[in-house]
Structure 1
Amino acid sequence: MICLDMKRRLNMMSRLETKIFKTKQIIRGLTSDRSGNFGIMAAVMAPVLLVAAGGAVDMSHAFAKKQELQEKMDAAVLAAVLKSDAKSQRQEVENFMGAFLPEDTKDGQTVEMSSAAVLTVSNNPDGSVTGTFADKFKPSFLGLAGLNELNISVSSTAIADKADTGGPCIYVMGKQSQAVLINSGANVKATKCGVDVHSTSNPAFIMNSGSTINTMRFCVKGTNYIKNGGTLTNLEVGCAAADNPYAGKLSEPTVSSICTTSGTRDGQTQVMKSGVHCATTFNGSPKITFEPGLHIIKGRMIINSGATVVAEGVTFYFPDVNSEIRANGGLTFTATAPTSGTYKGILMFENTSNASNSNNKQQYIFNGSKGEQLEGIIHLPNRDVVYNSTTNQSNKISMVVNSMIINSANWQLEPYGSAGSSGTVGSVRLVR
């Protein structure tokens, strides 16, 4: 719609037409007795009549330009919402609106294109993209009446609906041979998500008899594998394995040189405050409660057989590849990620900014447990994860690892957050 400023100018035009009508009445009165004055009055009124007629033409052109801008902006945001980052979305909108922008357009969220035109592109919390363009229309005739410009603005918002096509709960990023090894006794069920394997080596994975992997999809980028038996549902080879969705996006904390806890801890009840835990070992079979917050595990934390661990609203961070939580078996473990704050949704993650970690990948071992319930993002791309003995797990996770060995596990998997959707776009639409 033409903005309020333009409406005020339309009201001025209406008042101008009223004055013209009254002037005509005066002219009729004058010319009834003084027909010689008609030429003089006509000459006086000519500019006024020209402005009235020309103003209608100006308004028609202004509406036509607004309609053109609106159509371009609608198309621009529909294309932009398919892009994955703000910079690309901005560039896509500029590509569509290029005819209305000067040559010196700069990247940014809000940029004044000239003294008149302004383009804004913004990301909304629901994933939609809004584009707004404001410009000034210079009329040809209304300038005679003091209306030198008319403000025009358009706005559009588009959103992309995601198609649930069985994306990964587990991302195996390693390119090496045998990136996944499934041994006898493995029993994994994930009907709402799957496993994506990036290896193209020969073989990319090996599956042995006596195992069952029932996932929504088992996507392997390579085409060579060894299957010695067992049941594997929804296998796809040569498929487009999903990229690591968290690469470079997790904020790594500064690790204090002061240890909050360290060494051996005795006692059947242990309460762990957030902080740095250095090479800590728990004797006996205690109940260990991690208070909500960030817990930095520096070195190996050893939890003996039979212990119970409760960690609700907790994030575990490993500053190097030699740091881990190692349970010796018979563990009962319940852990959930924070629901707000800097580490919202992150249950476990490691330092990936230090090249020495990525160049020195290490094992991360989950030993047998009575039951584990984990919920959150587990980002361990520098770890070769191993599940030993019988591990009973019910996880709602999105896990990234370098490689994986499943020796024996009863594992129920459900997607966490955006896991379970491959990110494939089902449709895009305008929402306003």
Structure 2
Amino acid sequence: MLIPVLILVAGGAVDIVYALGQKTRYQDELDAAMLAAVHQATAEAQLETAQSYIREFSDSDLSPGELQEAGMSLAVVKNSDGSLTGTLKMPHPTAFLRIINLNDIPISVTSTAIKAGDVSAAAGCIYALGNKPQAVLINSGAKLDAKQCEVHVHSTSSPAFIMNAGSTIQTAKFCVKGSSYIKNGGTLTNLEVDCDAADDPYEGKIGEPNVPSACVTQGAMSGTTFSLNPGVHCNTIFNGSPTVTFKPGLHIIKGRLILNAGSTVIAEGVTFYFPDVNSEIRANGGLKLTASAPTTGDYAGILMFEKTSDAANNANKQQYIFNGSLGETLTGIIHLPNRDVTYNSTTNQTNKITLVVNSIIMNSANWKLSPYDGPGPAGNGGTGGDVRLVR
């Protein structure tokens, strides 16, 4: 009578020991998966990368629904501190415990990875670096919905910023290095003065390209649709109200690129570079804009940046206008520390950007903003930064 019980106990122990060995393998694979996936910018890419490290997913011919029916699942979740958590659930088939109708031993493992720099830089959305009066000017009608964002104002001048009535600025922290400001009304959440404003997180970390002498576009362009290759665009103006698509890659704007009212711009997987402070993209209102930075390569995460290695260029601050868009969607880092930016635009959905400027004016605009959480230049997370397991 005891022989079947002893066989079940001994066989069950074998099943459990083997399952523990499998759990160790799953944990190792999931750790590697999270260290790789945390580099990716989108949830879809993060999941796809993580699955490629799990043998049962990467080698399986089953559909996602069939995997789920078999009890196999992998969930990847982005946390508020920028870290990425994966949860892997796998059934381990038994050999001996089937005698008592226990066909599987459920196994679940979790792993969390984070990129170096994410914790300190993740919440920073706007950096106004200029030590000048009204380094930030918030005019009536300005609406900024940025409840997860921090704004860092470096000015210690009098006043460091001015806010006028009829404006609403919602942030996680509005940090001002100085103590003098003028607030004529409106709503401003989480203001901190005499605050230790965070430094430019990208200073010296973005490599500047050589500018070719040949221009891929130049002068007046007429038509309804344009598809622009990467390269140098020299003093270009688009007549009418065309749809302009910038192909993925590095686009160097030399001089002024002008888009007339009613134009549509698509720039996905694109980096814009300005080799001097007189170069810019200028829209004359009524613009529809969708732009996102590359997720890999030398300029991963960089949507716009300018030359900062030339002292004469740095000393010649110039205006830059994000002008009157009907709707825009931006993703990436905008590094323009030599520009006094005026923001007049409206967002269709929440922009995920980090904006570094000399100063900023917010006019009547409906601006939704959250921290950029994708890859960045080496030394500040992203594909060039260090990653580590949190747990």
- What is the TM-score of this pair, normalised by structure 1? 0.59
Which secondary structure state, in structure 2, belongs to the residue aligned with residue 216 of structure 1? Answer: strand
If you compute each CA radius of gyration, which structure gives the higher value, 1 or 2? Answer: 1
Distance 1:415 1:284, change over 3 A: same
Instruction: Report what 1:415 is aligned to.
Output: 371
Q: Which residue identity lines up with residue 142 of structure 2 in the other structure? A: A
Instruction: Report what 2:148 is aligned to.
Output: 192
Identical-residue share of aligned pairs (%): 68
Distance 1:431 1:175, change over 3 A: closer
Contact 1:332–1:369 (CA<8 Å) still a contact in 2? yes
Q: In the alignment, does 2:323 pair up with 1:396?
A: no
Q: In the alignment, does 2:241 pair up with 1:285?
A: yes
Instruction: Report what 1:202 is aligned to.
Output: 158
Q: Deviations over 1:194-251 (max 9, x none)?
A: 2100001110000000000001110001011000000000001111110001001101
Instruction: Report what 2:133 is aligned to.
Output: 177
Instruction: Report what 1:246 is aligned to.
Output: 202
Q: Deviations over 1:96-121 (max 9, x none)?
A: xxxxxxxxxxxxxxxxxxxxxxxxxx
For structure 2, the residue ranges without an aligned partner over 5 or more in a row are 1-81, 84-114, 381-387
Instruction: Report what 2:170 is aligned to.
Output: 214
Instruction: Report what 2:182 is aligned to.
Output: 226
Q: Distance in 2 between matches of 1:415 and 1:369?
A: 21
Q: Distance in 2 between matches of 1:170 and 1:363?
A: 17
Q: Distance in 2 between matches of 1:389 and 1:217?
A: 22
Distance 1:411 1:224, change over 3 A: same
Structure 1 residue 167: deviation in Å?
Answer: 3.2
Structure 1 residue 417: deviation in Å?
Answer: 2.3
Q: Which residue identity lines up with residue 246 of structure 1 in the other structure? A: Y
Greater shift, 175-184 or 382-391, is seen at: 382-391
Q: Distance in 2 between matches of 1:262 and 1:160?
A: 41
Q: Distance in 2 between matches of 1:416 and 1:390?
A: 18
Contact 1:184–1:209 (CA<8 Å) still a contact in 2? yes
Contact 1:274–1:292 (CA<8 Å) still a contact in 2? yes
Structure 1 residue 166: deviation in Å?
Answer: 7.6
- What is the TM-score of this pair, normalised by structure 2? 0.65
Instruction: Report what 2:105 is aligned to.
Output: none
Q: In the alignment, does 2:292 pair up with 1:336?
A: yes
Contact 2:325–2:344 (CA<8 Å) still a contact in 1? no
User: How do residues 312-323 of structure 1 correspond to structure 2 at under 5 angstroms?
Assistant: 312-323=268-279
Q: Distance in 1 between matches of 2:124 and 2:245?
A: 31
Q: In the alignment, does 2:269 pair up with 1:295?
A: no
Which secondary structure state, in structure 1, belongs to the residue aligned with residue 312 of structure 2? Answer: helix
Structure 1 residue 161: deviation in Å?
Answer: 9.7
Q: Which residue identity lines up with residue 250 of structure 2 in the other structure? A: L
Which has a greater percent of helix? 1
Q: In the alignment, does 2:215 pair up with 1:259?
A: yes
Structure 1 residue 165: deviation in Å?
Answer: 9.6
- Cα RMSD, aligned residues only: 2.7
Instruction: Report what 1:357 is aligned to.
Output: 313
Contact 1:185–1:408 (CA<8 Å) still a contact in 2? yes
Instruction: Report what 2:260 is aligned to.
Output: 304
Contact 1:392–1:410 (CA<8 Å) still a contact in 2? no
Q: In the alignment, does 2:340 pair up with 1:377?
A: no
Q: Distance in 2 between matches of 1:286 and 1:327?
A: 12
Structure 1 residue 388: deviation in Å?
Answer: 3.5
Which secondary structure state, in structure 2, belongs to the residue aligned with residue 169 of structure 1? Answer: strand
